[in-house]
């Protein structure tokens, strides 16, 4: 039969924010896909050395954070927000990282992510994810985000349309990595591929900007050595 129980406070708050996002933003999603073989090859070559030097493993998320930071600096509309009749632009990137917990989804924020190295990004993600799952995040660690990355791929999601985290105007959705046949020149080869989804606020970001931003993220991810060298 039916069973009723009070909605937990965090679930109620999440529900309010999702409805607010739907009602206030003109949300649209654009898609692309990224060949992950460059990142896989680089990690396989340097992961042990990286761990020895920095004391932390080299995961995937740092590549996505770094790629988004670079693209956001080149496309400031995606890092901006609407405040009444004004547009607020920022010369910093506060990157929200969506983390699933027993109490629901929370989005801790990496403040001034543009200043962080790959090792710092990895250690900060590990720290905030652990704090999130233990329910120990402070309010300052959950506020002030300018862009968000969410990874449904850890749960097996192949494709999704993420919902904005107001007042942000962009959110990147990562998804499951699958080996798929792709055309490289005149040959068909099997590569580890991931679909990317960018949901954006069409009130501020036009279609061309959203598409070129996502293509820029894709290009950065497919040439990770160049991204790490900052050239």
Question: Residue 167, preceding bond cis, omega within 30 degrees?
Answer: yes
Q: How far is CA 70 from CA 113, 130, 146, 151, 218, in A?
A: 10, 26, 14, 19, 12
**Alpha carbon distance 14, 55 (integer Å):** 35
In this structure, the strands spanning 99-101 and 147-151 are: unpaired
Beta strands (DSSP E) in 133-221 are 147-151, 170-174, 177-184, 187-201
Q: Which of 2, 41, 86, 206 is catalytic?
A: 206
Q: Which stretches within the chain are classed as H helix?
A: 9-24, 37-54, 61-74, 118-133, 207-222, 224-229
Is position 202 annotated as part of the catalytic site? yes
Q: How long, in residues, is the chain?
A: 231
Q: Which of 86, 140, 202, 219 is catalytic?
A: 202
Q: How far is CA 191 from CA 34, 86, 159, 177, in A?
A: 10, 44, 17, 10
Q: What six digits make up the tokens of 208?
A: 């061309």
Contact 174/150 with Cβ under 8 angstroms? yes
Catalogue the active-site residues.
202, 206
């Amino acid at each position: 039969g039916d069973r009723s129980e009070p909605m937990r406070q965090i679930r109620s708050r999440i529900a309010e924010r999702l409805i607010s996002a739907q009602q206030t933003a003109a949300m649209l999603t654009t898609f692309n896909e990224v060949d992950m073989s460059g990142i896989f090859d680089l990690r396989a070559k340097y992961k042990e050395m990286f761990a020895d030097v920095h004391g932390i493993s080299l995961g995937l998320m740092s590549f996505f954070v770094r790629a988004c930071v670079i693209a956001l600096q080149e496309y400031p509309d995606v890092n901006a927000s609407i405040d009444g009749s004004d547009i607020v632009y920022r010369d910093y990137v506060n990157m929200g990282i969506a983390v699933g917990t027993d109490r629901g989804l929370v989005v801790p924020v990496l403040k001034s992510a543009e200043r962080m190295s790959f090792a710092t990004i990895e250690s900060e993600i590990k720290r905030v994810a652990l704090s999130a799952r233990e329910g120990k995040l402070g309010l300052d660690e959950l506020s002030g985000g300018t862009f968000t990355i969410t990874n449904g791929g850890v749960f097996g999601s192949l494709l999704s349309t993420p919902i904005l985290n107001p007042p942000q105007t962009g959110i990147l959705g990562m998804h499951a990595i699958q080996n798929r046949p792709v055309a490289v020149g005149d040959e068909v080869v099997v590569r580890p591929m991931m679909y990317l989804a960018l949901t954006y606020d069409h009130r501020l970001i036009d279609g061309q900007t959203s598409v070129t931003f996502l293509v820029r993220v894709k290009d950065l991810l497919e040439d990770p050595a160049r991204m790490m060298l900052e050239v």
